[in-house]
Chains A and B, each alone.
Chain A
Amino acid sequence: MVETDDKRPSPEALLKLAQAEEVEAGQGKLNIFLGYAAGVGKTYAMLEMARQRRQSGADVVVGYVESHGRAETDALLAGLEIIPKAAIVYQGVSLPELDLDAVLARKPQIALVDELAHSNPPGSRHEKRWQDVLEILNGGIDVYTTVNIQHFESLNDVVAQLTGVVVRETVPDLLLDRAAELRLVDITPDDLLQRLQEGKVYVPEQATKAMEKFFQAGNLIALRELSMRHAATRVDDQMRAYQESRALPGPRSVAERLLVCISGSPFSERLLRITRRLANEMKAPWYAVYVEPPGSDKFARENRDRIWRDLRLAENMGAQVASITATSVAEALVDYAQRHNITKMVVGKPAKSRWRELLRPPIVDQVIRRSGQIDVFVVSIRPLENRPRELSGPRPKIPWSGHLGALGLVLGASLFCVLIRPFFSPTNMVMIYLLAVVVAAIRLGRAPAILTAFLGVLAFDWFFVPPAFTFEVANSEYLLTFAALFVVGVVISTLVARGRERAEAMWLRELQTASLYHLSRDLAMAADTFAIIKAVQRNLTESLNGEPLFFQPIGEQLEFVDSGEGPTPDLKEQAVAAWAFRNQQSAGRGTDTLGSAAFLYLPLKGSASLMGVLGVKLAKDDDYTSQQHRLLLDAFAGQTAMALERVHLTQQAGQAQILATRENLERALLNSISHDLRTPLSSITGILTSLREPGNGLSPEGRNELLATACSEAARLNRFVGNLLDMTRIEAGGVKLKLEPCDLQDLVGCALAHLESRLAGRPVNVEVPADLPLVLLDLVLMNQVLINLLENSVKFSPVGSAIDLAVRIDRSALLIEIGDHGQGLPEPELKKIFDKFYMVPRPEGGGGTGLGLSICKGIVEAHGGTIRAENRDGGGLRIIVRLPLKLAPEEGESHGQ
């Protein structure tokens, strides 16, 4: 049992496979031709492969291939369709670049794009060519591309260590994962060097020196090994994936989870790459965490930017990232790790001077002490010699005013002490200086506070310690006082300063939480898209001082939603938004894609589909890269997307309900039609066939009775068909009122005349004042209303009972009331009787169609009036039609007289 279970693919594996296929559907496949150095023949191999595919009938175009004048490459290029390069002008020089839009528009099956790691000149859509390639892939086009192993992000530092050459153009490892096929293009280093000597390897002129250093046998061997190892790992991955999907028994990975802690130091990047490699080898998910000490706002901006960049890098490399604010870095890290079931932690070991370690145990030690079950990998990080020194930012400005303040405080304290000197002993003066230190710590910050403590000691010694006005100390007891004053001053200032920093951090977080809370509260109340837009607009302005733009998909297109206020995007901005929508990635200001846009565009990802794009313009340039702003913006986008989706789903549910109601109605219609059409037809058919029967032996009276029945059934059928036609016309919106001046007596007379036979001698009490003016009505339709109402009264009141019909004018309304002397209706039925196909359940059965009153309602409403039913005081039902009174123009009457 257990064995067979083991061999079955795990649900997770199947799910992964399904997801991979899902991703593949509609997306192009990426073929990477991987080499270890320039000149190994990647482009050549790619072109050869392309020609083969072309011969077997594939639609291949060359998006960008640079032959560097090599005849062999040119020969291969001949005969392939080449998309003309776009000329991008940068600093007066026209640079031939990949024409991305042309490739997308041409939509071939396969596009060739050389040199994946290339950086595009400023002004291009993307900063990097690999971003172009991703977009082509998203367009459903297969891409053949070339890249050298040292360009992959996670190997970048290894290569630098191996060769001493820092490669600046990098490609995220994610592309390696995306690759459907990885082809290793390989020649031996000896051959490569030979080719180099023969001048067959293109070396850009400005890099000749670096290249010389690069093209050394040792370097090449190392790089070759690296590329082969990488290709082998990939083959291994494929094998594993294959085994998982086919459930072949093989080695399984244990559920490992890795966590790396980054600090914003220049070495965090390396830590990330190391962790990624580890995670890859273990097939484990990994997390990158930055713990922000409170008050980190005081860090140099550059440092914060680096943290932000590192987190983005980690995300690009497949990590889940988090940023936590906590005083104790170690405690927060371990806590996070435990909550996320981390099994292994990676921390860097900084090279700090010994004495600082003594003062404060390094974070590494703290982590190890607390880590418990979690394995901790400590990676020693030494700066690379060849790595250019990170530029140190401008030194933090020394707050001279603070230090002057410190001086002032000490002087003030001294003056005060001079004044109280006659009454207190010198030791008490210490308290006054301490007070000054506390004030400095609260008001001026930490450094001025320490200065205050130091100056305080000096001033105390100078003024009050005998012998006065010298720094000499007569009584060595005072040395202790000095030490205590200084130490207490330092401790107090540190504590106060830290408290203040923490409060500041809390305040910032509080602000963020509050703005998110306000947003989610507003969004929860928003019932439609417009309200959501308003809510986001308000909150974004309040909490980020930003201007939003909204785009919503309408069909396949992304349309700008004009909220009535705020800016309107021009075509360029709309194109950037459209890009963000199509590629489901943020774009525009502050991103790598189309960074020259005025707004930052965030796709609004709902759980099922993309709900639109949110464009944001922030007040300051720095805000676009600030982590706090981006986190908040991401949260805003998430909340907005959720709200939009909720509204969307609610609307859909509403529509579904309408559909269901309509379906019910249609069923009722069919039932009614089949019943009401067939019943009279069957009696007519029955009567006719029996009369036709030769020798039916019917008496003349019997015959007459049958014929009378057949006639009345035919009349009933005719009425029903008439009703159906009326209803259909009303439903189809085909009621065009033909308003004409009507004499209301005429209206009533017509209806009564029409019903003469049906009324069967019933008394009808008509109450129409003779002096009513002519009223604008559609006579034919209102006639129909009266006929239907009268018929209804006839049907639901006892034979022979009177029917009351009154017409009167009530202020600006015309009232028509028709009452019977039947049983009336239970309250809840009163409203329903005007519904289509609603029939009052009655034991005797009225033989109605359930249409008459709803036709009345349709006609009356077309006149802008209302119709309702009520029970009469003395029993019976009264139906009241209320029409807006439109009087006929009276001119012309005099002509007639």
Chain B
Amino acid sequence: MDSSGVATGVRILVVDDEVAIQRFLKTVLGSEGFSVHQAETGKLALVAAAVVRPELILLDLGLPDLDGVEVIRRIREWSPVPIIVLSVREREDDKVQALDAGADDYLTKPFGSGELLARIRVALRRAVQEAPEPVYKIGELEVDLGHRRVTVQGREVQLTPTEYDLLRLLVSHAGKVLTHRQILKQIWGAGYLEQPHVLRVNISNLRHKLETDSSRPRYILTEAGVGYRLKGDY
């Protein structure tokens, strides 16, 4: 792949207080051509974010001084830099909080280096790309945002307006996790934040229309306890 080409000199800030993880990430990212900067605490991370101006931040949620979610919030006050959260499995709520606060993606520890690099690439590409591509294509699903046309295996699928809005939201964030709150707020408005069943029903309907086997979805993936993600093309 053209990974080394994309990565050359790209500044990544790694925020983690575990020396072993720092060392591992530095090795992996460094060998891919990224320029790796490190911070061990939340406060140092905030300083480094301002000084280094990284193009992507890898942030561990369990920091010794500040709460990781707080770090995201403070960075988001002034910077749209992509933030990927590194978290342990047990803390679904933390992940949701981090995503709602503005994180772009999350990775559950332990993770493989391949997975990590893929997520980084998606995040970087989305950051560069201003507007979503007018035609999204993955597998046999094709969404033409310009013409509001959705086809599966070349066959046009009829969607309700809500379903289409939902799909468009997912498409415009393809590869990224969207939390339930984020989707509910975007599509139905803040008044629907506590009515998750609306979302479930529409996702279910969408799947029936788009997936060949809705109990083994290929496009609209569920992140249990967190939200949904449209499969990205990585």
Contact = CB atoms under 8 A, between A and B. Distances in A.
Contact of B214 (A745, A750, A893): A745
Nearest to A722: B89
A745 B160 CA distance: 21
Interface stretch (B8-16, B75-83, B170-178, B202-210): B202-210
Nearest to A764: B216
Nearest to A738: B225
Given A745-B215, A749-B217, A897 B200 contact: no
A742 B200 contact: yes
B224 interface: yes
Contacts of A890: 197
Interface string A335-365: 0000000000000000000000000000000
A718 B110 contact: yes
B197 A889 contact: yes
Given A714-B110, A722-B89, A770-B208, A749 B196 contact: no
Contact of B188 (A714, A745, A896): A896
A752 B216 contact: yes
Interface in B135-185: 160, 162
B90 interface: yes
Interface in A699-713: 711
Contacts of A750: 222, 224
Interface residues of A, number: 32
Contacts of B162: 896-897
Nearest to A715: B110
A35 B222 CA distance: 99
Where chain A touches its partner, the secondary structure class is helix
A103 interface: no
Contacts of A897: 160, 162
B179 to A, nearest CB: 13
Contacts of A753: 216-217, 221-222
Contacts of A741: 196-197, 200
A892 B197 CA distance: 8
B214 A749 contact: yes
Contacts of A766: 213, 215-216
Interface-centre pick from A725, A749, A890, A897 (highest chain B CB count, 10 A): A749
B155 to A, nearest CB: 19
A783 interface: yes
Contact of A896 (B90, B202, B207, B215): B202
Contacts of B224: 750, 779-780, 783
A814 to B, nearest CB: 15
Given A714-B110, A745-B214, A766-B216, A895 B198 contact: yes
Given A749-B222, A783-B224, A895 B215 contact: no
A888 B197 CA distance: 7
B201 interface: yes
A711 B92 CA distance: 25
Contacts of A718: 110
Contacts of B196: 740-741
A60 B137 CA distance: 100
A746 B200 contact: yes
Nearest to B202: A896
Contacts of A134: none
Interface string A739-780: 011110110111011000000000000101010001000011
Nearest to A887: B197
A780 B112 CA distance: 22
A738 B198 CA distance: 17
Contacts of B214: 745, 749, 770
B197 A774 contact: yes
Interface string A221-253: 000000000000000000000000000000000
A746 B222 contact: yes
B111 to A, nearest CB: 10
A502 B153 CA distance: 110
Given A745-B207, A749-B216, A753-B216, A893 B197 contact: yes
Interface in A871-897: 888-890, 892-893, 895-897
A725 B216 CA distance: 28
Contacts of B195: 892
B92 A893 contact: no
A780 B225 contact: yes
Nearest to B90: A725
Contact of B204 (A725, A738, A746, A889): A746
A40 B162 CA distance: 112
B139 to A, nearest CB: 15
A714 B112 CA distance: 11
Nearest to B161: A897
Contact of B201 (A711, A714, A783, A893): A893
A200 B197 CA distance: 103
Given A738-B225, A750-B224, 12 more contacts: A722-B89, A741-B196, A743-B204, A745-B204, A746-B217, A749-B216, A752-B215, A768-B215, A783-B224, A783-B225, A889-B197, A890-B197
Nearest 9 pairs of A and B residues by beta carbon: A780-B225, A741-B197, A745-B215, A743-B204, A896-B198, A783-B224, A888-B197, A892-B195, A748-B215
17 contacts: A718-B110, A740-B196, A741-B196, A746-B200, A746-B217, A750-B222, A753-B216, A753-B217, A774-B197, A774-B200, A888-B197, A889-B197, A892-B197, A892-B198, A893-B197, A895-B188, A896-B198
Interface of A: 711, 714, 718, 722, 725, 738, 740-743, 745-746, 748-750, 752-753, 766, 768, 770, 774, 779-780, 783, 888-890, 892-893, 895-897
